[in-house]
Amino acid sequence: LARGVSAPDLAGRHVVVSAGGTREPLDPVRYLGNRSSGKQGYALARTAAARGARVTLIEANTGITDPAGVDVVHVGTAVQLREAVLKAAADADAVVMAAAVADFRPAAYATGKIKKKDGEEPAPVALVRNPDILAEIAGERPRPGQVVVGFAAETDDVLANGRLKLARKGCDLLVVNEVGERKTFGAEENEAVVLAADGGETPVPYGPKEALADVVWDLVVPRLGPAGL
């Protein structure tokens, strides 16, 4: 095959990709959010479609135009993302959780705008845990032979933290990014190590998010169960 031309090795497969970052509302005008741009998730969706997959992209707050040939589901919060991912995962051959899911959400939603009062300190914001979507999908495997992939941004001992997280989540592959200087959120390029549950370790040099996406699919394909079950 010519360089840049992908083999249709995902033909006949349904893959689900989550992208972006969830926003957890406090009141009608405010939310708790994160800096995920969604670019890596969109790169995964585009490259999977180019390799022949039917792609469902669950998108949270990216503002990116829907890619051609991809089914896009727009969500806002972690709870909505979970519902959409679980629904799409029911018949998926692979699920890739590239979205940044808020670990916590405000315990209460104020239906009216929260107002400050003269001479009063603000009340603390109480938080509750959000469901862990990746661990849930990896534990349930709604479809036999389904491959489940997570992402993690780590500091300090990046690989050791990644190994622990891979085991804790129960997924097949974990794409580990080191958070640092040029590896800022929203960047066009990325550098990572893909850890596999079977002990594999695939370094991906600094480069376009499409290149990392193709490495992820290269690692997913040989792990897929039989097609068309």
Contact 63, 42 (CB under 8 A): no
Is 117 annotated among the ligand-binding residues? no
Binding window for Ca ion (CB under 5 A); candidates: 62-70, 102-110, 138-146, 187-195: 102-110
Contact status: 166 vs ligand CTP (CB under 6 A): no
Ranges assigned E (strand) in 100-178: 104-106, 127-129, 147-154, 173-178
Contact status: 103 vs ligand CTP (CB under 6 A): yes
92 versus 133: smaller Cβ distance to ligand CTP: 133
The residue from 53, 101, 195, 220 that contacts ligand CTP (CB under 6 A) is: 101
Nearest to 14 by CA among 79, 89, 105: 89
Residues 6+ apart with CB under 8 A from 215: 194, 202, 204
Is 115 annotated among the ligand-binding residues? no
103 versus 218: smaller Cβ distance to ligand CTP: 103
Contact status: 132 vs Ca ion (CB under 5 A): no
Is 132 annotated among the ligand-binding residues? yes
- Residue 130 contact among ligand CTP, Ca ion, none, beta carbon within 5 to 8 Å by kind: ligand CTP
Clarify whether 34 is annotated catalytic: yes
Contact status: 9 vs ligand CTP (CB under 6 A): no
The residue from 15, 70, 152, 219 that contacts ligand CTP (CB under 6 A) is: 152
Q: How far is CA 93 from CA 164, 180, 185, 229, in A?
A: 25, 33, 29, 9
CA count, 13 A, side-chain hemisphere, 125: 15
d(CA 133, CA 82): 6
- Residue 48 contact among ligand CTP, Ca ion, none, beta carbon within 5 to 8 Å by kind: none
Q: How far is CA 168 from CA 60, 134, 162, 189, in A?
A: 24, 10, 10, 28
DSSP lists the bridge partners of residue 192 as: 204
Binding window for ligand CTP (CB under 6 A); candidates: 8-16, 110-118, 119-127, 128-136: 128-136
Angle at 221 (CA atoms; ends 17, 176), nearest 5 degrees: 55
Is 64 annotated among the ligand-binding residues? no
Q: Which residues are annotated binding-site positions for CTP?
A: 103, 113, 131-134, 151, 165, 169
Which residues are identified as catalytic? 34
The site for ligand CTP (CB under 6 A) is made up of 78, 97, 99, 101, 103, 130, 132-134, 150-152
